[in-house]
Amino acid sequence: MKPRVLVSRAVFPEVIARLAGHFEVDDNQADVILGVDGLKARLAGKAGALTAATDPLTADVIAAAPSLKALCNFAVGYNNIDLAACTRAGVMATNTPGVLDDTTADLAWALLMASARRLPAAERWLRNGEWKGWEFVQWLGTDVHHATLGILGMGRIGQTVARRAWGFDMKVLYHKRTPLPAEQEAACRASWVDKETLLRESDFLVLLLPYSPATHHIIGAAELALMKPTAHLINVARGGIVDDEALIAALRGGRLAGAGMDVFEGEPKLNPGFLGLDNVALTPHIGSSSRSTRMAMAMTAADNLIAALGGQRPPNLLNPEVFK
């Protein structure tokens, strides 16, 4: 008898077909948001699950599924999983790093450019029929070329963002707790600085940090006050890294030129203050949203699940002590 697994959100049919070759699959192609109670009910009797960043895989959920052996997130982030609870219960947890780096870096640059050149507001103005003719001082934006790009969090995606700055002849600064090895810095043409210097000198600051209690509101009113009033803030990482209320106040008060936001506190809800601003570009958490990348993410998660329930070490195991 095949092991039973859950696929918690709608995915491509090819992914379901791949899993069906190994497991009895309980899918959710209707894409109903399960929540804690729904996950408890649907994980009953399951050996594993393909899960999304929207699934609250709490200690209670894990405890309610004693037959569970593997939770395989189709996301690079895993703050939705209580990893310590998984380890205590002997449940392997995995993510999908690497496959979404380029696509997420592309969106970071799309938001950066949109914020710099005021594209959302300019398009709304045009669509509303307000364009009556060309003017010399109309819709003045910020130059990206030869500006200073700052990156807070310099993992794989951060390094990918940095390499894209070469074509704009930008100076690249970054901050992370441990500087990159010299050869990686050279490959990115980037220089490590302390956090305060990064905030003060960046014309464009891109956030690429995982969310955790330690990074909650790592960009708040005090940090925004250090930034240039001509600077732009781009967040394609996780909601909660930025104090959204403080950011809205800075944008509204002219203490920051613009922002590009793909993630928000409490999403899918977002602070309504964003909607009244003309100097922010907003997207609905679509950093990895290209068909090929989302397919790669889902197939990577499927590979992790097949390995985990087949007695092999999953390629992207987050808690290796469980496998030992």
Q: 190-201: per-residue pLDDT in tens? A: 999 999 999 999
* Mean per-residue pLDDT, 31-48: 95
How many helices (H) and strands (E) are present in the chain, helices listed first? Answer: 13, 12
Confidence of residue 175 (pLDDT cuts 50, 70, 90): very high
* Mean per-residue pLDDT, 128-143: 94
Q: d(Cα 312, Cα 69) in Å, to the nearest integer?
A: 12
Whether 109 and 116 have beta carbons less than 8 Å apart is answered as no
* Mean per-residue pLDDT, 35-46: 95
Degrees, nearest 5: CA angle 162-165-171: 90
Res 77: pLDDT: 86
Two tokens, residue 83:
């990893």
Confidence of residue 324 (pLDDT cuts 50, 70, 90): confident
Res 97: pLDDT: 92
217 is catalytic: no
**Taking 80 as the threshold, does the pLDDT of residue 85 lie above it?**
yes
CA quadruple 55, 59, 60, 66: dihedral, nearest 10: 100
Q: d(Cα 300, Cα 133) in Å, to the nearest integer?
A: 51
Domains and CATH numbers, the chain: 4-99+291-323 (3.40.50.720), 101-282 (3.40.50.720)
Catalytic residue among 22, 216, 217, 267: 267
Continuous H helices in 44-145: 59-63, 83-89, 101-116, 119-127
| DSSP β-ladder status, 232-235 and 204-207 | parallel
Strand partners, 149: 172, 204
Q: d(Cα 64, Cα 54) in Å, to the nearest integer?
A: 19
Strand partners, 93: 71
Tell me what the pLDDT averaged over the chain comes to: 96
Distances (CA, A) of 90 to 44, 138, 324: 16, 61, 10
Catalytic residue among 223, 238, 265, 294: 238
Q: Which of 143, 245, 152 is nearest to 193 (CA)?
A: 152
* Mean per-residue pLDDT, 24-38: 94
Catalytic residue among 18, 42, 285, 294: 285
267 is catalytic: yes
124 is catalytic: no
Q: Which of 304, 294, 302 is nearest to 7 (CA)?
A: 302
Q: Which of 188, 195, 286 is nearest to 236 (CA)?
A: 286
Q: d(Cα 321, Cα 324) in Å, to the nearest integer?
A: 5
Whether 16 and 27 have beta carbons less than 8 Å apart is answered as yes
